[in-house]
Structure 1
Amino acid sequence: MTGTILAIDDSRTSLSVLGQRLGQLDYLTVLSDNGSEGLDLITARGFDLVLLDMVMPGMSGLQVLHEIRSNPDTADLPVIMMTSHRDPAAAIDGLAAGADDHVAKPLDFDVLAARIARVLARARRITDLKRANAALDARVATRAIELGETKATLAATQADRTRLTASIKTLTDKIQWLSRTSVSR
């Protein structure tokens, strides 16, 4: 299995074709015909990518995208917007709203497959980077704790040294006093 994709489109025909074609590319595809249901599905289970129709009745694709991006749990979920608008402004609107990519309908499935693969590869690299950063943060925290313990040990050692130096000085002074008093007798 290459990944799990949620396709949200108000056209059941488009969803059926998407599901079939993405299945042939080895993707597990979940289909939703409206934005609200799509958001519920995203909340209920994890997806690797969302294909989102830009223009839908009720809740538009841009509104769904806004909800995805405003939720910390899904803010980094890759989203490719789909639209039948040939106007470049539609692509700009989707990308400005936070889409990772944009494709025009009717879909060229070879292009769509390449874009999905690219977006998923980038998402995996980001996930790996986050994992590496978390591991590095844990190592830094461990080193900070070790450094704190070492500083405490050093401070205790320095306090012992100061105390021992004072004791040695007191003993040296006492020996010198005894030496002077025994010579004077």
Structure 2
Amino acid sequence: MAPPVSSARPRLLVVSPNRSHLALLAKRLGAEGYSIVTASDGRAALGELHRSPIDLVLAELVMEPMSGPELTRAIREQTAFSEVPVMLIASRAEADPAVRAFAAGAEDVILKPFHFEVLVARIERRRTAARQIAALKADMEAMDARAAMKAIELGELKDRMYALEAEKRRVSA
């Protein structure tokens, strides 16, 4: 299933075990026009994904008991959410955060400290890419359906042609 494509307020799931960081991100992103859903860990985040459509997940790389990369893998394994963009926030002190995040299927990694305006720009870029991918997939499905219909029509025409040839042989004999 493709990520939701809506003109309403985009729904972001923000995941962080740090309550003050979670509250700050929720407040600032809410002020930017996003509808914010929060979770304190990966398991709660998966529960939120099941509750209502989410346009993008923004999660900490380091969390317990489920890390950001583990959350990303769990999202990617579920067909219903596999196309939801995931961005992970990592500390510069963490070893190879981008490698672990990208290997798990995250679309982006934001290193702390970051400029909030850059975060918002990157969120919008990921949402735009997700909408474009969803539109391409819908176009491909429509093309596949048209191709299947044409194959059926071709089969029917072929059957009709064989029937006409058989009728022609019968009449000439």
TM-score (norm 1): 0.85
Structure 2 residue corresponding to 1:54, chosen from 55, 61, 69 = 61
Query: Whose relative contact order is higher, 1 or 2, with alpha carbons under 8 Å and at least 6 apart?
Result: 2
> In the TM superposition, what is the alpha-carbon distance from 1:106 to its structure 2 partner?
2.9
**Paired position in structure 2 for 1:125:** 132
Q: How does 1:1-185 map to 2 (within 5 A)?
A: 1-87=8-94, 89-166=96-173
| Greater helix content | 1
Q: Based on CA coordinates, which of the two structures has the bigger radius of gyration?
A: 1
SS at match of 2:141: helix
Give a deviation string over 1:32-88, Cα, whole Å, max 9, x none: 111111011112221110001111121111211111111122122100001123446
Partners of 1:145 and 1:10 lie apart in 2 by 55
Q: Tell me, yes or no, if the aligned pair for 1:68 and 1:74 is still in contact at 8 Å.
A: yes
Runs of 4+ in structure 1 over 6 Å off: none
Partner amino acid, structure 2, of 1:44? R
**Paired position in structure 1 for 2:3:** none
Unaligned runs of 5+ residues in structure 2 are 1-7
TM-score (norm 2): 0.91
Partners of 1:86 and 1:135 lie apart in 2 by 47
Equivalent residue pairs, number: 166
When residues 2 and 44 of structure 1 are mapped into structure 2, their CA distance, relative to the original with a 3 A threshold, is: closer
User: What CA RMSD, in Å, does the superposition of the two structures yield over aligned residues?
Assistant: 1.3
Partners of 1:93 and 1:60 lie apart in 2 by 10
Give a deviation string over 1:63-122, Cα, whole Å, max 9, x none: 111111111221221000011234461112111211100001233111101110110000
SS at match of 2:36: strand
